[in-house]
Amino acid sequence: MSLRNGLMALCVAWGVAGCGATQPEPVTEQETGVSEAAATATRIYATEASLELSFETMGTFETRNGRRVMVLRATANRYLQDVFSFIPDDIYGEANVISERRFEVVLDVENELNAVLSGLPLFVGVSTFTGTPTHYTAKIEVFPRFFDFRGSEGMWVDEKVDPYFVQTGTGNVVYRGRVDGPLQSLAVTAADGVPTVSASGANSYRLDWSYVTAHEAMDPHTVPLTFTASLVDGSTVQKTARLVPRVTSLALTTGDAYEVWPTPECQLPVYNCIHAQPQGTTDYAACGTFRQVQRCWYVNDICGATTPQALSLEPRDAASLEPARLAWNVGSNGGVWYGLKPIEAYSTPQCPQSPPTLQGIFEKLQWSAEYRDMPGFESGTVTNREGLAQSVFLGNSGYGNGVALLSALDAYAGGGEVQAWFATSEVPCHNCHEFNRFAVLYYPATRTVIVLQGYTGYDS
């Protein structure tokens, strides 16, 4: 059973509101609209095949049947047969047809709104009487956003209030905004929903709300928050703005929503960021949004939870090896000369499709113009740690101090097993002998690749 048919069956079986029919009537198609809303936009549009949908970007709060709800209103260019709202694997919220071409999506403030505001996309199944096809799915995202800014231009209140993963003792989601400007102090006041204000760098303040206080700040949406700041010139300025739930994106498809918009997996950079934080960290905003961090929070085997990566070489900062390189070059003279070029370093994928090989790494390097002068892989010597002294770079060869250089490379890469490739190519030299020298070192335990390029020469 397809996603659409399965959810429609649930809709019929459970008697979900909004599944009733209305009388069909032909309607003229509209032009394609935008899919992302700025603070000043009042509607957001999406078009697929013969259907155009538009949502009012601002959600409003009402009391229905004794419970507080947030309502999103939408319009179609086709007469509506039925609508239903859902998240992956479950009916979610309540969708109702309210006239031939208008419908609403209702989210309970206590049990549903927080999940959507924290980044959970909401799907809306839409069936029409006319057009081809007649079945669609919309995806909307809703976040808290400031608008209706009034007052001084001496401070800048960011429109965005985004969800982040912060362990507060009462929950893991914090809604965070920002105020910038030449500020010495900042205070925020409101009837309800006052954020925690804290300095977050020069001329910048952070605003943090829990879900409860964010809801209080938005409901009712007609009441603004007031920002009062002391500027560095000694003056005091004030600004007001209203915080509202806003539809920030809208997309439409005739396909299976789970295939068109699959739930993202834990991303490696996010996972690594989480595990790189010091012990005792509670604020993970530096690692990504709330949903990005949450998807990685309980992952133990990152390679089992992510798609394997093809072999690639990600550049790494090797500036810390510069003193060792310069030390190796000491002693070059007119009779015996040598030099090591700036050292380059790379990382292989954390979760590779197959274990990287030294030859595979070499072939990736050769795609770069920087390494196309290296001899072919078969023209070099492949060895391990026991054979590193064979390289003029890393042994006591009478040129630079290879032992000291190897010690620096091991410290940088973490030591352990090494797979190495060395090669030499002679270059023309009048009454002398000169050679280009190459080395590629791979440390599998730390996925580190180091490339050495240089030269040696002497008089005949």
Give pLDDT, residue 236: 95
Distances (CA, A) of 314 to 16, 361, 371, 438, 448: 51, 11, 15, 20, 10
Give pLDDT, residue 39: 55
- Residue 332's pLDDT band, with cuts at 50, 70 and 90, is confident
Does the structure show a pLDDT above 50 at 25?
no
Does the structure show a pLDDT above 50 at 23?
no
Does the structure show a pLDDT above 50 at 454?
yes
Length of the chain, please? Answer: 460
Give pLDDT, residue 37: 53
Give pLDDT, residue 22: 36
- Residue 240's pLDDT band, with cuts at 50, 70 and 90, is very high
Contacts for 377-381 with beta carbons within 8 Å, 24 or more apart? Answer: 377/421, 379/423, 379/425, 380/421, 380/422, 380/423, 380/438, 381/421, 381/422, 381/423
Residues 393-404, mean pLDDT to the nearest whole number: 90
Q: Which amino acid is at 304?
A: G
pLDDT above 70 coverage of the chain, percent: 91
353: its two tokens? 């499709």
**Integer Rg of the chain from CA:** 31
137 φ, ψ (degrees, to nearest 5): -135, 130
Least confident of 31-45, 83-97, 145-159: 31-45
Least confident of 16-20, 28-32, 38-42: 28-32
Q: Where are the beta strands (DSSP E) in 293-343?
A: 314-316, 336-340
- Residue 29's pLDDT band, with cuts at 50, 70 and 90, is very low
Give pLDDT, residue 40: 59
- Identify whether the C-beta of residue 446 lies closer than 8 Å to the C-beta of residue 424: no
Residues 163-182, mean pLDDT to the nearest whole number: 96
Convert the pLDDT of each residue in 89-104 to its tens digit: 889 999 999 999 999 9
Convert the pLDDT of each residue in 5-21 to its tens digit: 444 444 433 333 344 33
**CA 165, CA 160: separation in Å to the nearest integer?**
16
- Residue 134's pLDDT band, with cuts at 50, 70 and 90, is very high
To the nearest 10 degrees (0 to 180), the angle between helices 322-329 and 402-413 is 170
**CA 144, CA 209: separation in Å to the nearest integer?**
11
Convert the pLDDT of each residue in 257-313 to its tens digit: 999 999 999 999 999 999 999 999 999 999 999 999 999 999 999 999 888 999 999
